[in-house]
Amino acid sequence: MAFGRLGKPAGHRPMSDINVTPLVDVMLVLLVIFILAAPLMASRLALELPQVEAAATAAPDAPAAFVALSMDAQGRVYWDDQPIDAETLRLRLQATAQRDPGTELQLRADTAVPYGRVVQLIALAQAAGLSRIGFVADPSVAAPPVPPPAR
């Protein structure tokens, strides 16, 4: 003799509720990303720099005291076209800054030199006490026109 129901068990009913937990998780992650990214996007400065045509008739006057540094495509540094190592360069820059802190550093860098290497050279000059730095370009090569900033 069997005790129990005589009918079939009803089984599981289909779930009609939506599970919103994954949706809430995704939305919270997106909210955190936007909270962190918003200050980074707002801190940019929108500058409109003045536009002038280059004067083709006269070059600017050379400063009274200057040091000519050059960097070739391999990143080697030259002091007045003579190769120089990093330690000697640091000592010469310090000696130059002690003699005349207003001495201008005229930097000629090959276009293949990485930007980071140029920045290291500038930092070395500033640490030595030289604050006037001029970037020398080849005037015979026409630069491509700079498009106006988008508004």
**Residue 118 burial class via C-beta count within 10 angstroms: exposed 0-12, middle 13-18, buried 19 and up:** middle
* 66-135 under CATH 3.30.420.270, yes or no: yes
Query: Confidence band (pLDDT; 50, 70, 90) for 5?
Result: low
Q: What angle do CA 111, 130, 82 make, to 5 degrees?
A: 55
How much is the mean pLDDT over the chain? 78
Q: What pLDDT shows up at residue 45?
A: 43
Query: Confidence band (pLDDT; 50, 70, 90) for 47?
Result: very low
Residue with the larger pLDDT of the pair 115 and 138:
115
Q: What pLDDT shows up at residue 6?
A: 65
Lowest-confidence pick of 13-27, 105-119, 137-151 = 137-151
| pLDDT, tens digit, 9 for 90 and up, residues 22-45 | 999 999 999 999 998 887 776 554
pTM (global) more than 0.85:
no
Phi, psi of 32 (to 5 degrees): -65, -40
| pLDDT, tens digit, 9 for 90 and up, residues 89-129 | 999 999 998 998 888 988 888 878 888 888 899 999 999 98
Residue spans of the domains in the chain: they are 66-135
Contacts of 125 by beta carbon, 8 Å cutoff, 6+ apart? 93, 105, 133
Most distant CA atoms of the chain, gap in Å: 118
Instruction: Decide if 95 contacts 130 (C-beta within 8 A).
Output: no
